[in-house]
Amino acid sequence: MALRQLMLTKKIDQRKKALEELLRDNEGLKTRSEELETALEEAKTDEEIAAVDEEITKLDADQANFDEKKGVLEGEIADLEKDLEQLNSKAPSNNQRTAEPEAEKRTILGTGGTMKMIERGFFKGFSHEQRSALIAREEVQEFLQRTRELGTQERSVTNAELLIPDVLLGVLRDNLHRYSKLISKVYLRNVPGTTRTNIAGEIPEGIWTEACAKLNELTISFSQIETDGYKVGGYIAICNATLQDSDINLTNEIMDNISQAIGLALDKAILYGTGKKMPVGIVTRLSETEQPPYWGTKAPTWTDMHQSNLKKITYEGSTAEAFFSALILALGTVKANYSTGQKFWAMNSNTFAKIQAKALSINAAGAIVSGMNMTMPVVGGDVVILEFIPDNDIIGGYGSLYLLAEREGINLSQSEHVQFIEDNTVFKGIARYDGRPIFGEGFVIVNINNQDPTTTMTFAPDTSNPEDAYLSSLAIGSLTLSPAFSGATGKYTAATANASNTVTAAAAKTGASVTIKVNNVTQESGASATWTAGENTVEITVKYGTTTKVYTVIVTKS
């Protein structure tokens, strides 16, 4: 019976999505109807009236076809929901089942007394029957069995990986909409690998001519945005006791942690990603002062927006009217060209509270209320709370103008040695994404404390790939470094009697940044460093993405 209920639920969801798409298409019919009303009023000659009449006939046929499809879908949904309700009414009650663990009971809510729904964790929104049916599937059981085998082997398993079953991947992607607050706000596209997305340019303006004159050719330009697939992931520590626990607890523990890790990383990258080993963030794009290396030759024309789309307004001392007037003008910088019209505004809870305070009013019942209900007043758009955003910064715009490319291949691997003392087996969850704003003009950053918005963000460091931040060469004049230079070695000494020497350093990785400081004073590679008597410190910092390596040379002047 559980499988039957799962199938009915799937069919209901499928038909509801089809109905939503159909209702969106109906907006086009409404627009056509309004246009025909205008055309009918403007029609003067018999030919014009006949042409309008022909279009009305076509519209009536399309409307009838819409009504028929809508009626069929609504009827099917009603029948399926009735069948599901009958099956649920026959489901065993709680007292007929084996007692659930106490922690599991706290995650269950009753709805109408007929179906119990999971309230938290990876299986949130599932009924007991749906969850049990999913866990019972052969491919899920094989996945769990292999997980236990990896966790209990006595030695490390080389290249041992677990491919998450497709049935769980579907649920995982649905869960990302809960753990990643921005993935549902942007344009998400599934791609097999490196891909190029065609982007249409501005719609050309029609050209007026005499009634019998030749038509002018209109030019529509297309550009391309290339996306790759960068890896995002993290370690998941699972108590060894959990490995021997129930299938439900094991699956929930692993998948819930993967969702949280990937979701947080995605949100951060969509806003602040550097473009090196990760997507390009909205803030990164808006703060650029020159065309970046990642900008392809077939991409849309790069524009400098670090002044036009980075805004600041005054909060303290402003009246509510003055504050919201300034905020509306600042947020209104975004351009809706090419977008679906849906906006979002990301900020932390402190910033949201300050805006709410300005929006307070007293209603007819004498109660204090706020004019915000997780939406931005007047300009519209969903408010998204992300605590890693600095205080007073608001980031947002038209989310459909951000392309997020998702590649297949989420997998797990394990090691029992990393947290051996803690009696944990550590699993590694990996996914691949890339992304960037398609048109930066669709986004804006506003600081409400009259300060320059924060344009950089600290990401979790990548310490597992130090070679990404290695130097390929390091030289201080003709001085001899001790030990001899190696990209993996970070500390050196040298001696000189010279008053100065040139310091040169080059990164091994294309696109990596190199910063040189001599006695804490920054200088360019190839510039001359002046020595003082005694020890002088030369510090070279190499950064690529989230990987950083610091080289130190102590130069002693005699």
The pLDDT score that the predictor gives to residue 85 is: 72
* 286 pLDDT higher than 90: yes
More confident residue, 417 or 171: 417
Return the closest-CA partner of residue 438 out of 341, 337, 347, 345: 337
Range in 62-71, 291-300, 410-419 the model is least confident about: 410-419
Mean pLDDT of the chain: 76
Render pLDDT for 361-411 as a digit per residue (tens, 0 to 9). Answer: 644 554 555 566 788 887 889 999 999 999 999 999 999 889 888 775 455
Highest-confidence range of 260-264, 420-424, 533-537, by mean pLDDT?
Answer: 533-537
Bridge partners (DSSP) of residue 229 are none
* 73 pLDDT higher than 70: yes
The pLDDT score that the predictor gives to residue 537 is: 96
The pLDDT score that the predictor gives to residue 157 is: 34
The pLDDT score that the predictor gives to residue 100 is: 38
More confident residue, 35 or 285: 285
Read off the pLDDT band of 62 (50, 70, 90). Answer: confident
Across residues 312-320, what is the average pLDDT? 90
Helix axes 138-152, 247-272, angle to 10 degrees: 90
More confident residue, 552 or 61: 552
More confident residue, 76 or 376: 376
The pLDDT score that the predictor gives to residue 156 is: 36
* 477 pLDDT higher than 90: yes
Strand pairing class (187-191; 402-415): parallel
Strand pairing class (187-191; 382-385): unpaired
Distance between CA atoms of residues 379 and 246, nearest Å? 49
For residue 113, give every residue at least 6 positions away whose Cβ sits within 8 Å of its Cβ, in sequence order, or none: none
Give 548: exposed, middle or buried? Use CB within 10 Å, 0-12, 13-18, 19+.
middle
Distance of CA 521 to the CA centre of its chain: 38
For residue 500, give every residue at least 6 positions away whose Cβ sits within 8 Å of its Cβ, in sequence order, or none: 528, 529, 530, 531
Render pLDDT for 161-195 as a digit per residue (tens, 0 to 9). Answer: 444 555 555 554 545 555 678 888 888 877 655 54
Query: Between the CA atoms of 134, 137, 143 and 147, what dihedral angle is there, to the nearest 10 degrees?
Result: 70
CATH of 466-557, one of 1.10.287, 3.40.720, 2.60.40, 2.20.130: 2.60.40
Strand pairing class (343-347; 382-385): parallel
CA angle 238, 243, 246 (to 5 degrees): 120
Across residues 150-158, what is the average pLDDT? 44
Bridge partners (DSSP) of residue 507 are 471
Helix axes 166-179, 138-152, angle to 10 degrees: 80
For the chain, give the percent of residues with pLDDT over 70. 65
The reported pTM is 0.57
Half-sphere exposure of 367 (CA within 13 A, CB side): 4
More confident residue, 90 or 396: 396
Question: Token pair of 250, please?
Answer: 């094991």
More confident residue, 373 or 449: 449
CA angle 168, 3, 144 (to 5 degrees): 35
Q: Is 1 helix (H, G, I), strand (E, B) or coil?
A: coil
The pLDDT score that the predictor gives to residue 98 is: 37
* 557 pLDDT higher than 50: yes
Read off the pLDDT band of 94 (50, 70, 90). Answer: very low
More confident residue, 547 or 209: 547
Question: Token pair of 126, please?
Answer: 């599932």
The pLDDT score that the predictor gives to residue 242 is: 59
Read off the pLDDT band of 552 (50, 70, 90). Answer: very high
For the chain, give the percent of residues with pLDDT over 90. 29
Q: How many CB atoms lie within 10 A of CB 228?
A: 17
Q: Is 331 helix (H, G, I), strand (E, B) or coil?
A: helix
Write the CA distances from 300 to 219, 255, 297, 549, integer angstroms. 15, 39, 8, 35
Distance between CA atoms of residues 459 and 123, nearest Å? 29
Render pLDDT for 112-151 as a digit per residue (tens, 0 to 9). Answer: 444 455 555 555 666 666 667 767 777 677 766 766 565 5
Q: What residues does each domain of the chain span?
A: 2-93, 466-557
